[in-house]
Amino acid sequence: MELLEKRILKDGKVFPGNILKVDSFLNHQIDVELLNEMGKEIKRLYDGTGVNKILTIEASGIGIACIVAQYFGCPVLFAKKSKTKNIASTVYKTQVESFTHGKTYDVIVSKDFIGEGDKVLIIDDFLAEGNALLGLIDLCNQAGAEVAGCAIAVEKAFQQGGKRVRDLGIRVESLARVESMSDDSLTFVK
């Protein structure tokens, strides 16, 4: 998506350790107009697939998911990072290793809000090693819900996440796919 690629080139910042900071418009400060354009594009890509629920993970997926959901006319469900050791029997639980924080989280969704018959579009801001997506897919599988696919703002295509998820036969659409990045250059997969 050209609009997002241009914005990354203009306002994104590369830091050592393959960190791409887009916190001026995507995951700290949020440009809601840009999110709306992303929502239109994701709706175009997944039009006619029968999506009836959007699933994301706190925190930075939530804003994108809510704006995108307007184009699908469906609710958002966000998986929560659990703070307690005692997980209730009323939730599905999985584990997600965070690339950014070097830590593994228990991630939960309530059994009340996802189940058989649901067709789920999974949304997140970044796709790097794929751990968050694989966790969200696992939650859908536990619930017996169908995964229509994933829609990602920024995929680091030089990491393994995209391949890991696509190898499961799951559709992944990334609006910007970063091929390589360094201090003074950033290129996209064409």
Residues at the site binding a second copy, with contacts judged by CB under 8 A: 23-25, 28-33, 35-36, 58-59, 62-63, 65-67, 69-70, 73-78, 80, 83, 101, 103, 109-110, 112-113
Nearer to a second copy, 52 or 187 (CB): 52
Q: How far is the CB of 189 from a second copy (least distance, A)?
A: 28
Q: What is the DSSP string of 87-100?
A: --TTEEEEEEEETT
Alpha carbons 10 and 189: distance in angstroms, whole number: 17
Nearer to a second copy, 113 or 158 (CB): 113
Q: How far is the CB of 31 from a second copy (least distance, A)?
A: 6
Strand partners, 73: none
User: Euclidean distance between the first and final Cα of the chain, in Å?
Assistant: 11
6-23: string of b/e by CB count within 10 Å (b at 16+)?
ebbeeebebeeeeebebe
Tokens 């830091």 belong to residue: 15
Q: How far is the CB of 176 from a second copy (least distance, A)?
A: 19
Nearer to a second copy, 29 or 160 (CB): 29
Q: How far is the CB of 1 from a second copy (least distance, A)?
A: 19
Alpha carbons 189 and 109: distance in angstroms, whole number: 34
